Chains A and B, each alone.
Chain A
Amino acid sequence: MSATGPASRTPRPVSIASFAQMQNVRRDDERNEVEMLMPVVAEVFGNIGITKDDVDFICSGSTDYLIGGPFSFVMALDAVGVWPPRSESHVEMDGAWALYEAWVLLQEGEIDAALVYSFGRSSLGNLAEILALQLDPYYLAPLWPDPVSLAALQARALIDAGKGSEAEFAAIASRSRRDALANPKAQVANDIPADTLMQEEYVVSPLRRHTLPPITDGAAAVVLAAGDRAQEWGDRPVWITGFDHRMETHSLGARDLTSSPSTAKAAEVAGVADGPVDVAEIHAPFAHQEIILREALGLDGTVTVNPSGGPLAANPLMSAGLIRIGEAAERVRSGEARRAVAHATSGPCLQQNLVCVLEGA
């Protein structure tokens, strides 16, 4: 295995050539999904001066459960314009997994560029009910456990195991939203000390409101490039040098919720420990999950985590993972980080996890 970029665990170097995201908002009452995506797609192409005719493949991540309409991903293609007919695919997952599918296709060497996008309107339905339906349909979903309650079980287990405290959760939330003040696309950004946050009432003990992610409408897009195109499209390619995703059992009761072995395994295969990590964008929708994921990714206290504010600042479902990859890539492109790690999650209590290592030239 060799690469023109940095030492890589992947057979073919692929670059994050461009990234764009929508202004994250609590609710976009005005625009439909196509109208939300169109400017994002235009921006992700415009950043590097290309058009839809320059990409060989399109892959999107979204779920119909959020907007309550069938085949919303097919309608969303209107935001790209798929004529003449295009090679296209979709995953019912966060866009980070759509990016993985496109990356696998790029590894095969038959194509050199791909558009990846995702959209999520978290505001149109009742998330507590919608997210209950991703659970085991026989034993769990009929009980309608909401995601905050499940996360609270996890946080409680973490405290009982001596791995975290409510004060640490508050410190993570306080830091994240303070960092978000520098992120113009963030939905929730403020500077509130952790001890002030600790005065809040519980939503579901031991979780207070500040430990919860906001409900967000959002969309994001990435252009992937390999071969000559990676060099042509911009002076500073950001290479994917390691990439893997893993999942754990559907049954929450069979898991140790205080650790994330799927993240640890993905990090091992992606080679996170092969070099120093400057920045990590971690998809931890609930503050306490950052503690679990830091440990699983093997990140020490020197690593800057979620400088964008992370999902506590904006959590557009189906896009928040793809945004982690985009944010991490932009830190590398700007020179702020030489080596960055991006993580995405899906499912209840960190059931499925994806890890991506990004490096500058």
Chain B
Amino acid sequence: MTDQAPTDERGPVTTLATPIRLDFDFTPGIAQSKFLRGLEQGRFLGQRCPVCTKVYVPSRGSCPTDGVATTDPVELSHSGTVTTYCVVNVPFQGQSIEIPYICAQVLLDGANVSFMGLLQEIPTDQIRMGMRVEAVWVEPDELTPSLASVKYFRPKSEADADYETYKEYL
């Protein structure tokens, strides 16, 4: 219909920029605060579910299976098993690590959930599921309540874990 034609020779407006920025405070919560304070001391502090006895690290305060508070504190080993991994070859904005590098899910000994960490001191073609690794922490004066306190994980000179020991955590 002609009356819907643009009335301006530049045509219809197709783009409108409306910049938006919001800032938020973050409340980690009681359980995650304990985990973060642990990192500040170079320790992995998790919590156990009183119903199913699973150990979460970090715990968000509840057992996602049972919906009850995870109250029993558990300190975990600095060693664990690579349950799965990927090799990052793609550059992206803000990248601070030289590519290629390995991003791994590490199941700390005694934990029932794995968490993501950087894996170094190993060529990328030698990484494998079941590999035993240990945490390398930043210098004591650089420890903060943040996962940045864990510099990376590196291989341990021991035999790979048996698949049966981590197949539930893939």
Are these two chains actual partners, yes or no?
yes
Do the beta carbons of A138 and B62 come within 8 Å of each other? no
In the bound complex, CA of A67 to CA of B23 (Å) = 10
Binary contact track A29-62/B, C-beta < 8 Å → 1, others 0: 1111011001001100000000010000000000
In the bound complex, CA of A222 to CA of B25 (Å) = 29
Instruction: List residues of chain B with CB within 8 A of the CB of A298.
Output: none
Partner of B30, one of A31, A42, A65, A67: A31
Chain A contact patch, size range: 35 or more
Query: Which one of A32, A82, A129 has the greatest number of beta carbons of chain B within 10 Å?
Result: A32
Does any Cβ of B come within 8 Å of A109's Cβ? no
Chain B residue with the shortest CB-CB distance to A77 = B64
Smallest CB–CB gap between B95 and chain A, Å?
22
Do the beta carbons of B18 and A141 come within 8 Å of each other? yes
Binary contact track B54-68/A, C-beta < 8 Å → 1, others 0: 000000111111111
Smallest CB–CB gap between B13 and chain A, Å?
10
Smallest CB–CB gap between A66 and chain B, Å?
9
Smallest CB–CB gap between A124 and chain B, Å?
5
Instruction: List residues of chain B with CB within 8 A of the CB of A77.
Output: 64
In the bound complex, CA of A79 to CA of B26 (Å) = 19
Does any Cβ of A come within 8 Å of B108's Cβ? no
Main secondary structure of the interface of B (DSSP, over half): loop
Does any Cβ of A come within 8 Å of B69's Cβ? yes
Chain A residue with the shortest CB-CB distance to B33 = A30
Do the beta carbons of A125 and B24 come within 8 Å of each other? yes
Instruction: List residues of chain B with CB within 8 A of the CB of A52.
Output: 67
Smallest CB–CB gap between A75 and chain B, Å?
7
Do the beta carbons of A32 and B60 come within 8 Å of each other? yes
In the bound complex, CA of A82 to CA of B65 (Å) = 6
Instruction: List residues of chain A with CB within 8 A of the CB of B61.
Output: 31-32, 34-35, 38, 78
Instruction: List residues of chain B with CB within 8 A of the CB of A28.
Output: 27
Instruction: List residues of chain A with CB within 8 A of the CB of B25.
Output: 123-125
Assuming the A-B contacts A67-B24, A138-B16, are A78 and B30 also in contact, with contact meaning beta carbons closer than 8 angstroms in the complex?
A: no
Does any Cβ of A come within 8 Å of B29's Cβ? yes
Do the beta carbons of B26 and A38 come within 8 Å of each other? no
Does any Cβ of A come within 8 Å of B97's Cβ? no
Do the beta carbons of B18 and A137 come within 8 Å of each other? yes
Binary contact track A119-161/B, C-beta < 8 Å → 1, others 0: 0010111100110010001100110000000000000000000
Partner of B29, one of A31, A41, A130, A137: A31
Do the beta carbons of B24 and A82 come within 8 Å of each other? no
Smallest CB–CB gap between A215 and chain B, Å?
13
Instruction: List residues of chain A with CB within 8 A of the CB of B20.
Output: 133, 141
Smallest CB–CB gap between B51 and chain A, Å?
9
Does any Cβ of A come within 8 Å of B100's Cβ? no
Smallest CB–CB gap between A345 and chain B, Å?
23
Does any Cβ of B come within 8 Å of A83's Cβ? yes
Partner of A79, one of B28, B65, B67: B67
- B residues with CB within 8 A of A: 16, 18, 20, 22-32, 60-69
Which 6 A-B residue pairings sit nearest by Cβ, starting from the closest? A81-B67, A32-B29, A68-B24, A35-B61, A83-B65, A78-B64
- A residues with CB within 8 A of B: 28-32, 34-35, 38, 41-42, 52, 65, 67-69, 75, 77-83, 121, 123-126, 129-130, 133, 137-138, 141-142
Q: Given contacts A31-B27, A31-B61, A68-B24, could you give 8 more A-B pairs where the C-beta distance is less than 8 Å?
A: A28-B27, A29-B27, A32-B32, A41-B67, A68-B26, A75-B60, A81-B62, A81-B68
